[in-house]
Amino acid sequence: MIALFVLLLIIASAYFAFFSSFFNIKKVEVIGAQTLKQEDIIAIAKIKIDSNLILQNTAEKSAMIKENFSRIQDVSVKRSYPNTMIISVEEKQPLIIGVTLNNFILIDDNGEVIDVMAVDAKPGVSKINAPILSSMIFPVTVTQGQILVETSLRQAIAFVKGVPEDRKHLINEIRVKNGFISIYPTGDFEAIMGDNKNMIKKLNTLETLLKDTEVLDRAIAYMDLSVPDRPIIKEQ
């Protein structure tokens, strides 16, 4: 009798779980999307309101999202009982912004193009925390997902990767010429950094100079920090 009761309880529970509207999806949350549209992610995952939460194949949906959005670094799809699906995404972050004749290209620390944005999207580009590489023009044929191997780009990537987070605000623009690097901390003047040696010391020297009101009151053409202990300030 007890065994029959347990069996009936299991059957009733299974029926309730799979056929009752109690576990129907009423809400889909997308967490972490910065540039991607939430509705696009949900559409690719094929999650429908009022479908059964328990029957969703979360691993399959995670794979579908990652396969269709090259901008996504990592993704997870989880159930939140009784009726919510939660999609958590981590987008790839651009390290450098490149330019073509028509577009801005967002490049990550591996040299991969993670997004291509039209020139008229410049207000949106200005909100991205990454320096513009202005010393080269990339081909207009560059596409999302492409790995770029240009020497100057690789040198710029190596430089920016070596800059501590608390000094990255100094780099609004970067130029590479013959292996030597210049940055534009404010957009007004060039800071010549030279090669990658003693880069932290050079950045610290630049930070100190930018806090000196006597220096900032001068019309500066450029600062040469290639020898950080003996910076040269050239006025216009």
Predicted confidence (pLDDT) per residue in 32-72, tens digit: 988 889 999 999 999 999 998 888 999 999 999 999 988 89
Q: What is the pLDDT of residue 40?
A: 94
- CATH (one of 3.40.50, 2.60.120, 1.10.3810, 1.10.10) for 96-235: 3.40.50
Q: What is the pLDDT of residue 122?
A: 59
Q: Which of 210, 208, 213 is nearest to 189 (CA)?
A: 210
d(CA 177, CA 188): 19
* Parts of the chain belonging to CATH 3.40.50: 96-235
> pLDDT of 142-166, one tens digit each?
998 899 999 999 999 999 999 998 9
Q: What is the pLDDT of residue 123?
A: 59
DSSP designation for 53:
S
d(CA 72, CA 154): 22
Average pLDDT, the chain: 87
More confident residue, 32 or 123: 32
Q: What is the pLDDT of residue 152?
A: 94
CATH number of 25-91: 3.10.20.310
Q: Residue 125 is encoded by which pair of tokens?
A: 């580009």
pLDDT band of residue 125 (cuts 50, 70, 90) is confident
d(CA 166, CA 186): 16
- Is residue 226 scored above 70 in pLDDT? yes
More confident residue, 209 or 218: 209
* Parts of the chain belonging to CATH 3.10.20.310: 25-91
